[in-house]
Amino acid sequence: MSKKIIIANWKMNPASSQEAMSLFSGISKNVSQIKKTIVVICPPFIYLPSFSKALAGKGKIKKQISLGAQDAFWGDTGAYTGEVSAVMLSDIGVKYVILGHSERRVLGESNENINKKLKSAISANILPILCVGELERDENHEYFNFVKNQLLECLNGIPKNLLYKIIIAYEPVWAISTTQNRRDATPLDSREMAIFIRKIISDKLGVGMKMPRIIYGGSVNNKDAGEFLRYGGIDGLLVGKASLDVKKFTDIIKIAENENN
């Protein structure tokens, strides 16, 4: 069984570098006993260099916490005002990048763009966390086709032997904490989609190839993380709101650590 992975998506929070460092230090201190769970913190770009420096001096914590970005542009350098490339992130020690988050898709991010970003991230040696998920669930189960289409378009042309590097995060938009009139998803909703995603990927890969990890995200907190990890058919969690609270987030990490036993 692969190690569980717990990823924090801080989104555009917190407002100051002081608050960011205090949150980061709080989480770092609390994971010193964690051995089997992979912890990834994805803060806003601006906090990454100082976190990377803070980790550089701490060999043990460095093994337990990795840094991730919330986006990365394709290409290495060039005339792309305002963008940051995967190569630049890799240069400061960033290991993961969230791509195709629903909050970016709503701003116009297309599957085609995400596909280019995935390819660039992989070639810069950064592990992408590809977010997919339907806006709503309909009675005719069209949402399966919606997710399938997102997956196939985003993964188009990526060599089969590299697909395992991508972590696929199933995030039903209707369950994300900031969605208006949101509803709770259940571990069963997660399990059903995780099986569906595994089938799509294994049809693409054929037998004998290493599979990508599949994780779940959407309002997970320290009360339901255990149920999602146990019954959700997944290898980890992407956590938004609860990752901004040291206690809630470290509780989730400890729950994952116990599930790894």
Tell me the C-alpha distance between 66 and 95, whole Å: 6
Return the residue of 27, 238, 253, 256 that touches ligand PEP, per CB under 6 A.
238
Residue 4 interacts with ligand PEP (CB under 6 A)? Answer: no
Q: Is 101 a catalytic residue?
A: yes
Angle between helix axes 48-56 and 17-30 (nearest 10 degrees) is 40
User: 3-state DSSP helix/strand/coil percent for the chain, to nearest 5?
Assistant: 45, 15, 40
User: Minimal distance in Å, beta carbon 9 to ligand PEP?
Assistant: 4
**Positions in 156-185 near ligand PEP (CB under 6 A):** 171, 176-177
Where is 249: in which H helix or E strand?
Answer: helix 246-259
Catalytic residue status for 171: yes
Among 68, 218, 232, 233, interactor with ligand PEP by CB under 6 A: 218
The Cα–Cα gap between 159 and 30 comes to 38
**Phi first, then psi: what are they for 150, rounded to 5°?**
-55, -45
Burial 115-149 (b: 16+ CB within 10 A, else e): bbbbbbbbebebbbbbbbbbeebeeeeebbebbee
Of the candidate spans 104-112, 184-192, 232-240, 249-257, the one that interacts with ligand PEP by CB under 6 A turns out to be 232-240
Site string for ligand PEP, 38-77 (x = CB under 6 A): ----------------------------------------
Q: Closer CB to ligand PEP, residue 61 or residue 234? A: 234
Tell me if 198 sits within 8 A of 160, measured CB to CB.
no
Rounded Cα–Cα distance for residues 215 and 174 (Å): 17
Among 8, 9, 201, 257, binds ligand PEP (CB under 6 A): 9
Q: Does 127 bind ligand PEP (CB under 6 A)?
A: no
For 21-45, the DSSP string reads HHHHHHHHHHTTT--S-EEEEE--G
Judged by CB under 6 A, which of 220, 229, 252, 256 binds ligand PEP?
220
Q: Which of 109, 134, 171, 257 is catalytic?
A: 171
Nearer to ligand PEP, 177 or 260 (CB): 177
Binding interface with ligand PEP (CB under 6 A): 9, 171, 176-177, 217-220, 238-241
Catalytic residue set: 101, 171
